[in-house]
Amino acid sequence: MITEGDFNSVVVEKENFLKTQQSLLTSYQNVYTNLLSTEDIKRSTNEIDNLRQNLELYQNRYLDLLNSRENIKNQKLQNIPTIEQVSPAAASERPVKPRTSLNTLLGGVAGLILALSFVLLRDMTDDAIKGREDVESLLNTKVVGYVVDNKNEVDGEGIYVARAPRSPVAEAFRALRTNLEFSAKDTPIKSLIVTSGGPGEGKTTVASNLAAILSHSGKKVILMDADLRRPRVHKYTGVSNTVGLSDILAAEQKIEINDYLQTLENLPDLHLLPSGGLPANPSELLGSEKMRQLLADLSGSYDYIIIDAPPMLVSDPQVLLGLVDGVLLVLVPGKTPRDVVSAVKEQVSHTGVRLLGVVFNRLKQGKRSGYYGGYSGSYYNTYYSSSYYAQDDTEANGAVKKKGLFKKSKKRA
C-alpha cells in the first residue's frame, strides 16, 4: 500500500524532470532561432561551396596520383626482363644446322623422284619406236640389221664400207647381208626396195652400203636411185646426176641402159643408176610399164637390184611395191613414230609384197643395243684394230680404197 510520503516523493521527482525538459526545449528554440537568421544561412552556404570545391580538388588530385602510379608501374614492368635463364647454355658437339647427311639424303631422294617422274613422263609422251619388241609387235617382222651412227660419212667421198672394209659399220652390213641371205633361202630375193618411215633416217646410206657389201661377195649389183623427189645417191657416192632413171623412163624411144650406168673404181662389180632430172610426175613414171620392163631387163643381167626409194609417207614407193621381191625398212630407234610404222605396215600388207625386215640405223656408238645382231661400236673398234688384222686396209675383197673416184657414163662390159 502506497503511503502519502511515497506519493509526494514521486510527484516531486516528476516535477523536477518536467523542469529539466522545459529548459532543454528553451535552449533548442534559441538554437533554432539562430539558425533561421539570414547571416547564418549565408555563412553555411559558403562553407558548403568551399567544402564542395575542396572535395573536387582532392578527387582530381587523387585521380592524377592514381594515373601516375599506373604509369610508374608500366615503366617498371617494361624494364623488367621477361626471359629468365633456367640453365646455362652449353655448346653442342654436333651442329644443329646444316645437317649435311640428312640434307644430302633428302636431296638424293628428291632428285631420284624427279628423275623417275621425268622418265615416266617422257615414256608416256614419246610414241617413237624403241627397240626390237616394238617392231615385232607392230610389223610382225624381225630386225635384220643394226647400224651404228657413223661420224666419218661424208657426201662425195664414195661408199663408206668400200673405204673402210674392216670398220664396225662394214661388219654391221655384212651381218645384214647374211640375214637377208638366210631369209631368201625358200624364196630368192633379186630386187628389193630400201625405204624408210620418214625423211632423214638414212635409207640412202643403208641402200648404198648394202649394195657395196653385196658386190664384195662377188655378186653383180646395181644400185638404182628411185627417189625422184629428193635424190641422194649421187651426192653420197660422188657420181654425176646429169642423166639417170627419170631420163630412161621419160624417153619416147628405147635407149641403151648401159649408157646411163656409172661405176666407182673401188667397186667394179657395183653399177649405179642415179635419179637423173627431177620430173613433174614421179609417181606416174615409177608405176609405168617402162619401169616394169626396166626391172625385168636388169634382173637378167644382175644378181641384185637395190632400189633407193622415197620414204613411205609419199605415194612413190607404193607403186614400186608390186614390182620387187621384197622391202627393207630403215628405222631410227627413238625417232620414228609408231603411227608411221603402222601406216607402213598397212601399205605393205595391201600390196602383198614381202617385208624382209627392219634395219635399225644410227645407233649410238658405245651402247649395246641388247638385241640379236647388235653390238657396240667400242667392241668392233677394239676387235678390228688388234694385231689379228695386221695387213693394210687399202685392199680388201678386191676393193681399192680411194676417195671420190668414179667413172662417169661407163658402159657395162
* pLDDT tens column, 288-297: 999 999 999 9
Residue 413: pLDDT above 50?
Answer: no
**φ, ψ of residue 222 in degrees (nearest 5):** -120, 130
CA distance 376 to 363: 9
Do residues 202 and 335 touch, judged by C-beta distance below 8 A? no
Model confidence at 220, pLDDT cuts 50, 70, 90, reads: very high
Q: Which pLDDT belongs to residue 1?
A: 59
Q: Which pLDDT belongs to residue 40?
A: 58
Least confident segment among 8-12, 194-198, 335-339, 403-407: 403-407
State the DSSP H helix or E strand holding residue 221, giving kind and residue range, or none if neither: strand 221-225
Average of pLDDT values for 73-78? Answer: 78
In the structure grid, which three cell numbers stand for residue 78, read together? 617494361
More confident site: 155 or 81? 155
In the structure grid, which three cell numbers stand for residue 236, read together? 653420197
What is the residue extent of each domain of the chain? 124-396
**For 371, how many CA atoms within 13 A lie in the half-sphere containing its CB?**
19
Do residues 360 and 332 touch, judged by C-beta distance below 8 A? yes
- CB within 8 Å of 360: residues ≥ 6 apart: 143, 145, 146, 147, 331, 332, 333, 369, 374
Q: Which pLDDT belongs to residue 39?
A: 60
Model confidence at 146, pLDDT cuts 50, 70, 90, reads: very high
Model confidence at 265, pLDDT cuts 50, 70, 90, reads: confident
Query: Per-residue pLDDT tens for 297-347?
Result: 999 999 999 999 999 888 888 899 889 999 999 999 988 888 888 888 888
Do residues 269 and 406 touch, judged by C-beta distance below 8 A? no
In the structure grid, which three cell numbers stand for residue 39, read together? 547571416
Model confidence at 69, pLDDT cuts 50, 70, 90, reads: confident
**For 177, how many CA atoms within 13 A lie in the half-sphere containing its CB?**
23
Least confident segment among 96-110, 210-224, 235-249: 96-110
CA 333 to chain centre: 16
Q: Which pLDDT belongs to residue 158?
A: 84
Residue 386: pLDDT above 80?
Answer: no
Burial of 374 (0-12, 13-18, 19+ CB in 10 A): buried
Residue 264: count of CB within 10 angstroms of its CB:
25
CA distance 118 to 108: 15
Q: Which pLDDT belongs to residue 304?
A: 95
Angle, vertex CA 133, rays to CA 124 and CA 325, nearest 5:
125
Q: Which pLDDT belongs to residue 2?
A: 59
Q: Which pLDDT belongs to residue 411?
A: 36
Q: Which pLDDT belongs to residue 38?
A: 54
Q: Which pLDDT belongs to residue 254?
A: 78
Over its C-alpha atoms, the chain yields an Rg (Å, rounded) of 58
CA distance 394 to 398: 10
Q: Which pLDDT belongs to residue 374?
A: 39
Residue 33: pLDDT above 70?
Answer: yes
Instruction: Determine what percent of the chain is predicted with pLDDT higher than 70.
Output: 84
- CB within 8 Å of 128: residues ≥ 6 apart: 333, 334, 335, 336, 337, 338
Q: Does domain 124-396 have CATH number 3.40.50.300?
A: yes
Residue 122: pLDDT above 80?
Answer: no
Residue 172: pLDDT above 80?
Answer: yes
CA 367 to chain centre: 20
